[in-house]
Structure 1
Amino acid sequence: MSFTGEQHPGVQAPTAESQGFRLNHTMVRVKDPEKSLAFYTRVFGMRVLRKLDFEELGFSLYFLARLEDGDEVPEDKGQRTVWTFSQKGLLELTHNWGTENQEDFAYHDGNAEPQGFGHICFSVPDLDAAVEWFDANEVEFIKRADQGKMKDVVFVKDVDGYWIEIVEAARLANIGA
């Protein structure tokens, strides 16, 4: 691999100690796992790779991925756990037990003040077809592709109000500076 990354103030060369590190997953907390799992599996075609319950701590973790043809996921739970933690680009949904029964309970989405976490992003093969799919599934839009200053970028919300950016890579060749 000859590409070493763009250089900007603050960028430092990777060290030997960080060799082999990879981003495995991003975690968001969810109020009701049944509703969140329905959304991510139906609308985005994700599959639950592994659910881990922590009874003494009162929470569960659901690791989701958009599996590709040829992915060989182990059937054995222990081997599947190891496999799950060796992947790239997973979504972890964390459910703190009992939140689904609290009518007014909601997590901060990171986009209201004070801002923090912003969004996750899915790349799709056809943005127009994805928008039609979201409309057919009554997904809430924050921004459509023809709105705002950033054209060809869509934002939708999941059932907990988290923002999800939707992009078609081929449309982004000339985005930004």
Structure 2
Amino acid sequence: MSFTGEQYPGVKAPTSDSDGFLLNHTMLRVKDPEKALAFYTRVFGMRVMRRLDFEEMQFSLYFLARPEAGEAVPEESGERTVWTFSQRGLLELTHNWGTENQEGRIYHDGNAEPQGFGHICFSVPDLEAAEAWFDANDVEFVKRSDQGKMKNVVFVKDVDGYWIEVVQADRLAALGD
């Protein structure tokens, strides 16, 4: 028998009505797309898969991913849009035009009061190498892997102040109960 998920109060068995549903993307609003794109493409090695502009509503969407080596991504924009919305685990950066001209950080990071959204997470093959890479790229740390109660977990901030958890999967087997 294959694993079907941990069970807790409130967990309901899925029905066939949700067959085929998948988590496609998480959206973060960004103040300045040039700075945000530089951060996510340089520091985390993501690529922009698709940009969609909505002139009437004055915003742009940037869909970022880390395709597997050799993965076929369509060249034609319409086909690539369909491909983008059929993927798992993309990051959508939303830019409301004109926000780049506002002073200071303009979006709630979810960790200040009142808390809500917490963070996104990247898994890396070598946590120490990732920390050194972040230092070399002047990435702001919230917590290093040797700090706090949860060792082997790093938190950094992106250019808009959103928290990013960074983990090395094979170090987390004993995490929690």
Q: TM-score, normalised by structure 2?
A: 0.98
Maintained 8 Å contact 1:110/1:116? yes
What is the aligned partner in structure 2 of residue 23 from structure 1? 23
Alignment of 1:1-177 (within 5 A): 2-104=2-104, 106-177=106-177
Please give the root-mean-square deviation of Cα atoms over the aligned residues, in Å: 0.8
Secondary structure in structure 2 of the residue aligned to 1:135: helix
Write the distance in 2 (CA, Å) between the matches of 1:128 and 1:105: 29
Q: Any stretches of 5+ residues in structure 1 without a counterpart?
A: none
Which amino acid is 1:2 matched to? S
What's the CA shift for 1:2? 1.3
Secondary structure in structure 2 of the residue aligned to 1:4: coil
Runs of 4+ in structure 1 over 2 Å off: none
Write the distance in 2 (CA, Å) between the matches of 1:40 and 1:141: 15
Secondary structure in structure 2 of the residue aligned to 1:17: helix
Which amino acid is 1:163 matched to? W
Report the CA distance shift for 1:46/1:8 in structure 2 as closer, same or farther (over 3 A): same
What's the CA shift for 1:103? 1.8
Write the distance in 1 (CA, Å) between the matches of 2:17 and 2:134: 43
- Alpha-carbon displacement from aligned partner over 1:57-92 (angstroms, at most 9, x marks no partner): 000000000121021100000000000000000000
What's the CA shift for 1:105? 5.1
Q: Any stretches of 5+ residues in structure 2 without a counterpart?
A: none
Maintained 8 Å contact 2:124/2:168? yes
Write the distance in 2 (CA, Å) between the matches of 1:8 and 1:105: 38
Which amino acid is 1:142 matched to? V
Which amino acid is 2:160 matched to? D
Which amino acid is 2:33 matched to? P
Secondary structure in structure 2 of the residue aligned to 1:27: strand
- Identity in percent: 80
What's the CA shift for 1:104? 3.6
